[in-house]
Chains A and B, each alone.
Chain A
Amino acid sequence: MIVVFYIASGVAILSTFLVILQSNAVHALLYAILSLLSVAIVFFSLGAPLVAALEVIVYAGAIMVLFVFVVMVLNLGPGAEGQERVWLQPRTWTGPVILTLVLIGELIYIFLARPGLALRGPAIGPQEVSLALYGPYLLGVELASILLLAGLVGAYHLGREPSD
């Protein structure tokens, strides 16, 4: 299972990196979907099958399809790709890339300085997660439902044709 974890992590990092390099929106979306699917495999190898299924269904299935719909609605012409390539000049990306590399280096140093801790216990199935979700976290579920309702109302308001 540890080999699965390493291969899936490598695919996730590589495909997320390719999302940054793409100038075509649809190609970037496809690499993002690949990244989310490999993170789902990572979840499965960590012993979290419910979250792995939710990652495929909700993230890769619903949220990314919403992005695909927006690309279809916008109907971006061939000029958009050239504009994106103009924005990706080296003087634009050197600063952020250096700062992010410093951040990654610091984080990896901090996590590797600790003594090794192996994950323990068997896989946590859907039953335990559901019991926790509707037991001690019931208030959180209510808050999430209010947040989703607010998102629905906000998206409807923003998506309307302006009347004035």
Chain B
Amino acid sequence: MAEVPTQYGIILAAILFSLGVAGILLRRNIFFVLLFVEVMLNAAGLAFVVAGARWGQADGQVMFIFVLATAAAEVAIGLGLLLRLHHQFKTLNVDEASDLRG
């Protein structure tokens, strides 16, 4: 069932993570920034699962479940901040919120 080379799984995780980094760097909309944070967390979880499958242990999948819980908590806080930013500044540009007590 599992004859996939380990490197290809790790390379897929690396490519997805780098696409997430590129997305965060070249977007200014906080909505897309949160979306790419999800992509990066998912890629990190993929690397855990590939490593766990390499050694035939369940630990990689356990770590993925923890990454999932972290992603769920992060997206709840992040979308709350997004709604507050939209309420206060009437825009989704993250650069608008660069001033303290602005």
Contact = CB atoms under 8 A, between A and B. Distances in A.
Given A54-B68, A103-B18, A103-B21, A116 B77 contact: no
Interface of B: 1-12, 14-16, 18-23, 25-29, 31-32, 34-36, 38-39, 42, 45-46, 49-50, 52-62, 64-66, 68-77, 79-84, 86-87, 92
12 contacts: A5-B4, A13-B12, A19-B19, A29-B35, A35-B16, A66-B79, A67-B75, A70-B83, A114-B7, A119-B4, A137-B59, A140-B66
**Chain B interface mostly:** helix
B20 to A, nearest CB: 8
B15 A1 contact: no
Interface size grouping (class) on chain A: 35 or more
Given A104-B14, A154-B80, 6 more contacts: A5-B8, A25-B32, A39-B46, A118-B3, A119-B50, A144-B66
A5 B75 CA distance: 28
B25 A100 contact: yes
A5 B49 CA distance: 14
**Chain A interface mostly:** helix
List the 3 closest A-B pairs by CB distance, nearest first.
A151-B73, A121-B56, A158-B80
B18 A104 contact: yes
A41 B74 CA distance: 24
